[in-house]
Amino acid sequence: MTNFSKCNVSFEGRVELHDKLSLTGAEVSFNVLPAGTSVPFVHAHKENEEIYIVLEGNGTAVIDNQSILLTKGDCLRISPSAKRQFFAGKESAITYICIQVKENSLTQFTMTDGIVE
Amino acid sequence: MTNFSKCNVSFEGRVELHDKLSLTGAEVSFNVLPAGTSVPFVHAHKENEEIYIVLEGNGTAVIDNQSILLTKGDCLRISPSAKRQFFAGKESAITYICIQVKENSLTQFTMTDGIVE
């Protein structure tokens, strides 16, 4: 494992970073749903928390049968067992990042994990 | 802990999601460095892997004294012990997401962690 790895994404389609960057603590994907489309299934997770970040467009997340309107800048945490499905707007594509991490895995961060030289 | 949480960010300044969303597996921050500026220190981490995603603009990452030019769509994984510092371009701001996760914490993801209903 080298000290860093790098790639470039276009934000124009599905890209998964785990294998491209040799990630060990997360999977990060970029996703684009064209207007009027959706992820074609409802899903949940066994142990991973998901974090969604909407980069462009708008749409809807349905989480445990609750509909949440989404627009640029919206960020969601979804617990592993919650049943979720994502929809683009009827007349708008939606572009979003999805981060998968193991629930309760973070033990410290920023000021407690950082070392300033 | 509810099944989900939500907030909105403007992508126009520093925002940290951990406390806003009650994250348990990551810290996620949004960052903007104005043209000609930098994070004012070099830093490393004790146990967290960092993942950077450049949303807009350009700049430079210096990782263990190696300079890496950055532009929109560039993604980096940085090992905990690597010494890093981020700079905006001389004539361009840079907007980026930083994800902190515990190194080696992810045990399964996507097809192995997902449950399709």
Domain boundaries, chain B: 15-102
Q: Does B51 touch chain A (CB under 8 A)?
A: yes
CA distance B115 to B93: 41
- Nearest by CB to A106, which of B27, B51, B64? B27
Q: Which of B51, B99, B71 is nearest to A75 (CA)?
A: B99
Cβ <8 Å between A113 and B25:
no
Please compute the mean of the pLDDT values over residues A91-104 and round it to a whole number. Answer: 98
A37-85: pLDDT as tens digits? 999 999 999 999 999 999 999 999 999 999 999 999 999 999 999 999 9
Q: Does A111 touch chain B (CB under 8 A)?
A: no
CA distance B21 to A91: 29
B33-58: pLDDT as tens digits? 999 999 999 999 999 999 999 999 99
Cβ <8 Å between B6 and A75:
yes
Q: Is the pLDDT of residue B117 over 90?
A: no
Q: Which of B17, B43, B34, B86 is nearest to A101 (CA)?
A: B17
Q: Is the pLDDT of residue B1 over 70?
A: no
Q: Where are the alpha helices (DSSP H) in chain B?
A: 17-21
Q: Residue B95: its chain A contacts at CB < 8 A? A: none
The CATH number that domain B15-102 falls under is: 2.60.120.10
Please compute the mean of the pLDDT values over residues B59-85 and round it to a whole number. Answer: 98
Spell B85-95 as b/e; 16+ CB within 10 A means b: ebbbbeeebbb
The pLDDT > 70 percentage for chain A reads: 99
Nearest CA in chain B to A80: B3
Q: Which amino acid is at A61?
A: A
CA distance A85 to A32: 14
ipTM score assigned to the predicted complex: 0.97
3-class SS at B20?
helix
* φ, ψ dihedrals at A93, nearest 5°: -65, 165
CA distance B108 to A102: 8
3-class SS at A4?
strand
Beta bridge partners of A60: A69, A87
Q: Report pTM.
A: 0.97
A6-48: pLDDT as tens digits? 999 999 999 999 999 999 999 999 999 999 999 999 999 999 9
